Amino acid sequence: GAGVSQTPSNKVTEKGKYVELRCDPISGHTALYWYRQSLGQGPEFLIYFQGTGAADDSGLPNDRFFAVRPEGSVSTLKIQRTERGDSAVYLCASSPRFEVGGYTFGSGTRLTVV
Amino acid sequence: AQRVTQPEKLLSVFKGAPVELKCNYSYSGSPELFWYVQYSRQRLQLLLRHISRESIKGFTADLNKGETSFHLKKPFAQEEDSAMYYCALSGGSSNTGKLIFGQGTTLQVKP
């Protein structure tokens, strides 16, 4: 595609529910990142995929968060038993290969847990 | 611990004035540093990286290892420079390419 696409752009869910956030990277990009941005803060790293495998998931805050990329393209970030503190903008980024820092971001999914 | 500090939440200048957005970092190895920018209603995008030693849209940034700083500068601010600016550091012992971001500085250029 022309850019990194994230859906939905906005998601409101009730505390305790399960949500899935989708990222469609630029075609051919093998590296994919998820970040979370809380209000007034910079983005915080969550997880990095190289191809289908999660090469670094050290940023996932707890076991309620999980992400997959089964075919090495689209990725889904899954959050179980959502809490109000999970409210944030979730950003996805991709790059053609492993490349330190120079990747293309999506416009994000704004998640609100009420 | 690896950390990026942007001490100013807001920097307000008049058009034509010089701009310096401050960034300090804490990192034990050889850092790679970046500036990202987010214009209103647009997505976060890379502005420049220290390793390229380039000037983008009139902005430059020099890595000062002695002062552990990577300040972003522009001699004459333009109204279209108004945006949110994030300094970022590459981190992770396994070189995964993940970035550690500062909290960001809003640059407001007044006419």
At B92 the pLDDT is 53
**Rounded to the nearest 5°, which phi and psi values hold at B79?**
-60, -35
Dihedral angle at the C-alpha atoms of A2, B87, B91, A24, nearest 10 degrees?
Answer: -20
Is residue B25 pLDDT above 90, yes or no? yes
Closest CA–CA distance from residue B35 to any residue of chain A (Å): 10
At A20 the pLDDT is 98
CA A24, A108, B57, A98 torsion: positive or negative?
negative
A22-81 pLDDT per residue, tens:
999 999 899 999 999 999 999 999 999 999 999 899 999 999 999 999 999 999 999 999
CA angle (B10 as vertex; B6, B15 as ends), nearest 5: 120
Is residue A6 pLDDT above 80, yes or no? yes
Is residue A21 pLDDT above 90, yes or no? yes
At A61 the pLDDT is 95
- Which among B87, B99, B101 is the top mutation candidate for probing chain A, defined by the most A β-carbons within 10 Å of its own β-carbon? B99
Whether the CB-CB separation of B47 and B37 falls below 8 Å is answered with yes
List chain B residues with CB under 8 Å of A33. 97-98
At A42 the pLDDT is 96
The CA distance from B107 to B104, in Å, is: 10
Is residue B94 pLDDT above 60, yes or no? no
List chain A residues with CB under 8 Å of B93. none
Do residue A56 and residue B94 have CB atoms under 8 angstroms apart?
yes
At B93 the pLDDT is 53
Give chain A's mean pLDDT: 94
Please name the member of A58, A100, A106 whose beta carbon is closest to the beta carbon of B43. A106
Please name the member of B88, B97, B101 whose beta carbon is closest to the beta carbon of A31. B97
Please name the member of A42, A55, A108 whose beta carbon is closest to the beta carbon of B86. A42
Give chain B's mean pLDDT: 91
Whether the CB-CB separation of B86 and B106 falls below 8 Å is answered with no
List chain A residues with CB under 8 Å of B49. 101-102
Closest CA–CA distance from residue B79 to any residue of chain A (Å): 23
B34-82 pLDDT per residue, tens:
999 999 999 999 999 887 778 889 999 988 989 999 999 999 999 999 9
Is residue A87 pLDDT above 80, yes or no? yes
At A27 the pLDDT is 92
At B8 the pLDDT is 96
